[in-house]
Chains A and B, each alone.
Chain A
Amino acid sequence: MEAVCMVSFGRYTRPHFHLLLLVILPLGLHTVAGVWPLPQTFTSSIERYPLNPQAFYFGYGRQSAAQQGCSVLDSAFIRYFSLIFPDYTGNGVLRFFEDKPFHIEISVDHDNCESYPNEDSSERYNLSVSAGQASLNAETVWGVLRGLETFSQLVYQDDFGSYFVNKTEIDDFPRFQFRGILLDTSRHYLPVQDILKTLDAMAYSKFNVFHWHIVDDPSFPYQSQTFPDLSSKGAFHPMTHIYTQSDVRRVISHARMWGIRVLPEFDSPGHTKSWGKGQSDLLTPCYSGSTPSGAFGPVNPVLPSTYQFMARLFKEVSSVFPDSYIHLGGDEVDFSCWSSNPDIRAFMQKMGFGVDFTKLEAFYIENIVNITSALNKTVIVWQDVFDYHERIPKDTVLHIWKGTPASYMAELSRMTKAGMRVLLAAPWYINHISYGQDWRDYYNVKPLNFSGTEEQKKLVIGGEVCMWGEYVDATNLTPRLWPRASAAAERLWSDEKQTSSVSKAFPRLQDFRCKLVRRGIRAEPLYVGHCKHEYQGV
């Protein structure tokens, strides 16, 4: 099969011959190429204004609830100054001596400068660019951050290096509230630097949730204050391959500065092999006949000590991670070990579960959900929990990860019909790679294209791009994530009707990926071509 393909596609210009047409689409070099993700309403004219880095000012409007001293915005101004003027070194001569100054005036309705972004945070903003000034209005500082990102993408350089921005009016808000990226730090450890860099890149695509799949079977890098043995025995290395409390705090505060929530996942009862190394009696001993085999299975759901441990661990996790959501996993539980264990079988009997181990699983999850609910956290679980369990608390969010488009659409219908809120990840398993422009598949997803009422559709809170770690570590994470994840970002932020064409999106995305490269993000190319400033690392 493959051999046949090779021949018919020729030595180099294989599957995407028709793409040559796309590539030729003229990308006006001296005009604004566009904003990614596309704002909801956007009008701009060819009237352009020069920007002089030495006469460019951020300021707070008089009416603004936030003023100087607002930590989120003050530091955003500093970051965005360098993003807007990437060439500026500060020691050049005054080239545009006669240029008028340019002011961006920021106005916020609420002073939420010291808070964390949450599920209800408004990200709406209004940006108006005219001669010598721009005004950026938002309800919250998070909206301002989104607006600053948009403004930074509006600024461009001509062939002489001068900066310009065109007259523009933008009114913008996200289509979905939850726009996440999952990183898996258990299958491979990701150094903190790489996580921080990913947060930066997420903000450039207006993602707002970092789903930190922090532990799993292979390793337990989270250093717990309460149970330090979990990482000292369960991490790949107890010193070099862990996240200390200060690492975690750094990630959370860095994310806050970009308006990004940090959603931790502590997946159980399956996917917990690494937990057992530092916490004895937590996992189920598997039996071979009447003797323990020495192997361990999922968390042992029949021991009270299990729930005492979980209560203490989640108490810690709840206070370390400020977000009001917590992800409890609950996927892919293998029943073979449970069914081999005589104590578990006795418990099943006692509880009247018969041989239905999904009931045991439901029993376990219910207990864990009660623990976290008592800690005032909203729970997210993988769809498996819904699939086998009827009595899920109504405010639980279900996370769809399985199946073909037809089957996840059906699942969306079922879940929302049951009145549950849903998060969609199935179409965006970005760790699965293939040859060619697979970003188009991520772009073409229609998250609300399932049968259901308007009310049902409102229950879809958003989507998530998942980068599982089997084949991904610090060496290849960034180019594998960007700009492929950016395709999903536009699907989750922008209006679907205005962004239905892959070929229209192509030049804008190509331009955006060069912006990412210019900002030091190792974003891979979409197709043949070049960026003015190529990536300078190895």
Chain B
Amino acid sequence: MSAALKLALLLLALGFSQGRQHNYIDEFDEEPKAETERVVGASKYGSLWPLPQKVKVSDVSFKLSSGSFRISDAKGSSAGPGCMLLQNAYRRYYEYVFGSARRQELSKSRQTGPAVLPELQVWITSPDSECDGYPSVTSDESYELTVDLPYAVLKAPKVWGALHGLETFSQLVYEDEYGAKSINSTTISDFPRFAHRGILLDSSRHFLPIKVLLANLEAMAMNKINVFHWHIVDEPSFPYLSRTFPQLSQQGAFHSYTHVYTPADVKMVIEFGRLRGIRVVPEFDTPGHTHSWGKGQSDLLTPCYSGSKPTGTFGPVNPILNTTYDFMSQFFKEISTVFPDAYIHLGGDEVDFSCWKSNPDIQKFMVQQGFGQDYSKLESFYIQKLLDIVSTTKKGYMIWQEVFDNGVKLKPDTVVHVWIGRGVNDEMSKVTAAGYTTILSAPWYLDYISYGQDWQKYYKVEPLSFNGTEQQKKLVIGGEACLWGEYVDATNLTPRLWPRASAVAERLWSAADVTDVNDAYNRMALHRCRMVARGIPAEPLFTGYCPQEYKGI
């Protein structure tokens, strides 16, 4: 009876709370009040995002003069004026701090009031600054920032840490009520919790113009994301223009001129990423997800049969032909030179066996090899050969979790990418118990949208919550937010990604005990307005406003 009463009350509550402007699903989340009545307050950490490992902010504030403030190389720095990466970053952050239009000379009459902070000195402390190199999974990204007189100092062993420190410095700057740029005396010591902090964008289901990719690399840098996982080709289209096999994009892209990435485009993306400390990891997914490959490369895909006749349709890559492996050798040789990163993502997920099963040649091959009816053995056979091919290019590889699940023999430095939601903790345990490094994406499929503040769900994930030893947990090198492209293109990608991906960014960068959702809300609301002011159309968290609204339309 009491149960019935409770149900009635619940129904009553449901009826009442169907607010005109409030969502009826959302009201019953764990914190219905917090959702709508959250008081937008100030975090003691201001707008810092992601939160640094150690922060001490004092009440003493300094002014910054747009006319005289300098970012310069410290005397002992191993990176000098010849380090283009840093020089570009100095200018970028100067403009972020002051706005490009507002440069003006310091007036002669010296204002009284807070002292002026004249300079930020950037000091690369290790002998090799890595200025001209590419970031890697082992790059040192740590930095220390001291904001105090006579000048602020940013110390980092490598340029990668310096880039993050510059972003942090720019986040410490605020406007006082007269619009003067100010910064408080602060000491920060910072480093990432995880080395691999990635975002996957899918340029096959919809073509993403270069401009969109670059804008999002820019936004990644604002969030200390350091991997752009470029899911560049897939079933629907093949926009990558290959020098070795130009017909792949000629036949396989949505359009062979307007919807392709030329070698110059790819180079631009890689360099743009490098200058922001972001790795570009390309994915060329096989043997499934390859429909578009078949248009420009005949005999690559398996002809499907209906009875004894080919149906005219094609399935996964044909694993029984030598020509397949010749093609893959040449193709990945090209890829390994075009993309400088030490890793290539080889996919290997969601292989549909029905077409293989229908094909008499494949059936025969199965018998020859003694695979019986176990087509996952055939898949492993293919992947094994592919991995051997890619190994000869001296690249490491990342693969989706199925490849591991199917028992393919992997190199010890393989990164296993966990994406399946069900049983994710068991999978993490298994993969790490087998000694492989792993990255996590399952909880962060950002293409799934729902009404309300779903960023909180992404924020509350703890990547190391699976059962395992300390040793195992160390094998989790990070995670990736995935924005698959079924419903996403240039029109809606950026507001759909940001600031939801920022929640993932903080989870992967900041200390494990940074879990206060209220504090996160207050910092993130400011962080998203900062992105908007910098030209990134990051969508709102909830009702409110930004001093500078988005002007792009």
Q: Mark A322-350, 1 if CB is under 8 A from B, else 0.
A: 00000000011000000000000000000
Interface-facing stretch out of B83-91, B175-183, B531-539: B531-539
**Closest CB in chain B relative to A5 CB, distance in Å:** 8
Q: Are A332 and B543 closer than 8 Å at their CB atoms?
A: no
In the complex, A529 Cα to B147 Cα: how many Å?
Answer: 50
**Is B10 part of the contact surface with A, judged by Cβ < 8 Å?**
no
**Closest CB in chain A relative to B212 CB, distance in Å:** 6
In the complex, A402 Cα to B212 Cα: how many Å?
Answer: 39
Residues of chain B within 8 A of A2, CB atoms compared? 421
Q: Which of B349, B532, B543 contacts A187 (CB 8 A)?
A: B543
Q: Are B18 and A402 closer than 8 Å at their CB atoms?
A: yes
In the complex, A472 Cα to B211 Cα: how many Å?
Answer: 24
Q: Are A189 and B549 closer than 8 Å at their CB atoms?
A: yes
Interface-facing stretch out of B166-174, B324-332, B441-449: B441-449
Q: Are A382 and B421 closer than 8 Å at their CB atoms?
A: no
Q: Are A468 and B545 closer than 8 Å at their CB atoms?
A: no
**Is A469 part of the contact surface with B, judged by Cβ < 8 Å?**
yes
Q: Are B206 and A528 closer than 8 Å at their CB atoms?
A: yes
**Closest CB in chain B relative to A221 CB, distance in Å:** 10
**Closest CB in chain A relative to B539 CB, distance in Å:** 4
Q: Are B545 and A241 closer than 8 Å at their CB atoms?
A: yes
**How many B residues, CB 8 Å from partner?**
70
Q: Which of A6, A197, A527 contacts B421 (CB 8 A)?
A: A6
Q: Mark A413-438, 1 if CB is under 8 A from B, else 0.
A: 00000000000000000011111100
In the complex, A191 Cα to B452 Cα: how many Å?
Answer: 23
**Is A95 part of the contact surface with B, judged by Cβ < 8 Å?**
no
Known: A434-B451, A517-B491, A528-B205. A11 touches B552 (CB 8 A): no
Q: Are B492 and A524 closer than 8 Å at their CB atoms?
A: yes
Q: Are A432 and B23 closer than 8 Å at their CB atoms?
A: yes
Count chain B CB atoms within 10 A of each CB in A469, A474, A526 and give the residue with the most.
A474
Known: A2-B421, A193-B553, A435-B450. A11 touches B18 (CB 8 A): no
Residues of chain A within 8 A of B321, CB atoms compared? none
Residues of chain B within 8 A of A537, CB atoms compared? 211, 490, 552-553
Q: Are A538 and B494 closer than 8 Å at their CB atoms?
A: yes
**Is A280 part of the contact surface with B, judged by Cβ < 8 Å?**
no
Beta-carbon nearest neighbor of B538 in chain A = A475
Q: Which of B23, B207, B495 contacts A479 (CB 8 A)?
A: B495
Chain B, 2-22, CB within 8 A of any chain A CB: 18-22
**Is A219 part of the contact surface with B, judged by Cβ < 8 Å?**
yes
Q: Which of A4, A219, A534 contacts B207 (CB 8 A)?
A: A534
In the complex, A248 Cα to B234 Cα: how many Å?
Answer: 48
**Is A79 part of the contact surface with B, judged by Cβ < 8 Å?**
no
Residues of chain A within 8 A of B102, CB atoms compared? none
Q: Are B422 and A6 closer than 8 Å at their CB atoms?
A: yes
**Is A97 part of the contact surface with B, judged by Cβ < 8 Å?**
no
Known: A6-B422, A7-B420. A475 touches B451 (CB 8 A): no
- Interface on chain A toward B: helix, strand, loop, or mixed SS? loop
Residues of chain B within 8 A of A432, CB atoms compared? 23, 451
In the complex, A478 Cα to B22 Cα: how many Å?
Answer: 21
In the complex, A236 Cα to B349 Cα: how many Å?
Answer: 49
Chain B, 309-331, CB within 8 A of any chain A CB: none
Known: A525-B488, A538-B215. A469 touches B20 (CB 8 A): no
Q: Mark B376-391, 1 if CB is under 8 A from A, else 0.
A: 0000000000000000
Beta-carbon nearest neighbor of A219 in chain B = B545
**Is A473 part of the contact surface with B, judged by Cβ < 8 Å?**
yes
**Is A215 part of the contact surface with B, judged by Cβ < 8 Å?**
no
Known: A191-B549, A241-B545, A536-B490. A382 touches B424 (CB 8 A): no
Q: Are B206 and A475 closer than 8 Å at their CB atoms?
A: no
Q: Are A6 and B549 closer than 8 Å at their CB atoms?
A: no
Count chain A CB atoms within 10 A of each CB in B20, B237, B536, B551 and give the residue with the most.
B20
Known: A475-B538, A476-B539. A332 touches B19 (CB 8 A): yes
Q: Are A532 and B553 closer than 8 Å at their CB atoms?
A: no
Chain A, 469-504, CB within 8 A of any chain B CB: 469-476, 478-480
Beta-carbon nearest neighbor of A472 in chain B = B540
In the complex, A187 Cα to B539 Cα: how many Å?
Answer: 13
Q: Are B547 and A522 closer than 8 Å at their CB atoms?
A: no
Beta-carbon nearest neighbor of B207 in chain A = A530
Chain A, 370-395, CB within 8 A of any chain B CB: 382
**Is B368 part of the contact surface with A, judged by Cβ < 8 Å?**
no
Chain B, 432-490, CB within 8 A of any chain A CB: 442, 445, 447-452, 484-490
Chain A, 1-28, CB within 8 A of any chain B CB: 2-7, 10-14, 16
Residues of chain B within 8 A of A218, CB atoms compared? 543-544
Interface-facing stretch out of B191-199, B252-260, B296-304, B408-416: B252-260
Q: Which of B20, B447, B545 contacts A236 (CB 8 A)?
A: B545
Q: Which of B18, B400, B553 contacts A197 (CB 8 A)?
A: B553
**Closest CB in chain A relative to B427 CB, distance in Å:** 11
Known: A188-B544, A530-B237. A525 touches B20 (CB 8 A): no
**Is A237 part of the contact surface with B, judged by Cβ < 8 Å?**
yes
**Closest CB in chain A relative to B534 CB, distance in Å:** 11
**Is B245 part of the contact surface with A, judged by Cβ < 8 Å?**
no
**Is B542 part of the contact surface with A, judged by Cβ < 8 Å?**
yes
Residues of chain B within 8 A of A10, CB atoms compared? 350
**Closest CB in chain B relative to A461 CB, distance in Å:** 20
**Is B118 part of the contact surface with A, judged by Cβ < 8 Å?**
no
Q: Are B490 and A473 closer than 8 Å at their CB atoms?
A: no
Q: Are B492 and A469 closer than 8 Å at their CB atoms?
A: no
Residues of chain A within 8 A of B350, CB atoms compared? 10-13
Q: Are B542 and A471 closer than 8 Å at their CB atoms?
A: yes
In the complex, A534 Cα to B448 Cα: how many Å?
Answer: 23
**Is A194 part of the contact surface with B, judged by Cβ < 8 Å?**
yes
In the complex, A241 Cα to B545 Cα: how many Å?
Answer: 9
In the complex, A403 Cα to B547 Cα: how many Å?
Answer: 36
Known: A475-B537, A478-B553. A534 touches B543 (CB 8 A): no
**Is A138 part of the contact surface with B, judged by Cβ < 8 Å?**
no
**Closest CB in chain B relative to A486 CB, distance in Å:** 14
**Is A257 part of the contact surface with B, judged by Cβ < 8 Å?**
no
**Is B419 part of the contact surface with A, judged by Cβ < 8 Å?**
yes
Q: Are B547 and A475 closer than 8 Å at their CB atoms?
A: no
**Is A156 part of the contact surface with B, judged by Cβ < 8 Å?**
no
Q: Are B20 and A475 closer than 8 Å at their CB atoms?
A: no
Known: A6-B421, A7-B421, A11-B400. A474 touches B553 (CB 8 A): yes
Q: Which of A11, A189, A472, A473 contacts B349 (CB 8 A)?
A: A11
Q: Are A530 and B215 closer than 8 Å at their CB atoms?
A: no
Known: A474-B553, A527-B486, A534-B207. A433 touches B449 (CB 8 A): yes
Q: Are B491 and A475 closer than 8 Å at their CB atoms?
A: no
Residues of chain B within 8 A of A411, CB atoms compared? none
Chain A, 196-211, CB within 8 A of any chain B CB: 197
Q: Are A524 and B536 closer than 8 Å at their CB atoms?
A: no
**Is B294 part of the contact surface with A, judged by Cβ < 8 Å?**
no
Q: Are A524 and B552 closer than 8 Å at their CB atoms?
A: no
Count chain B CB atoms within 10 A of each CB in A4, A241, A537 and give the residue with the most.
A537
**Is A172 part of the contact surface with B, judged by Cβ < 8 Å?**
no
**Closest CB in chain B relative to A328 CB, distance in Å:** 14
Q: Are A237 and B552 closer than 8 Å at their CB atoms?
A: no
Residues of chain B within 8 A of A219, CB atoms compared? 545
Q: Mark A261-282, 1 if CB is under 8 A from B, else 0.
A: 0000000000000000000000
Q: Which of A191, A332, A535 contacts B551 (CB 8 A)?
A: A191
**Is B550 part of the contact surface with A, judged by Cβ < 8 Å?**
yes
Residues of chain A within 8 A of B422, CB atoms compared? 3-4, 6-7
**Is A523 part of the contact surface with B, judged by Cβ < 8 Å?**
yes
**Closest CB in chain B relative to A169 CB, distance in Å:** 34
**Is A464 part of the contact surface with B, judged by Cβ < 8 Å?**
no
Top 4 nearest A-B pairs by Cβ distance? A6-B421, A479-B492, A475-B537, A3-B421
- 26 A-B pairs within 8 Å (CB atoms) are namely A6-B442, A11-B350, A12-B486, A187-B21, A187-B543, A189-B549, A240-B549, A241-B545, A402-B20, A432-B451, A433-B451, A473-B545, A473-B546, A475-B495, A475-B540, A476-B537, A479-B495, A522-B491, A522-B492, A524-B491, A525-B492, A529-B254, A530-B489, A534-B259, A535-B491, A536-B490
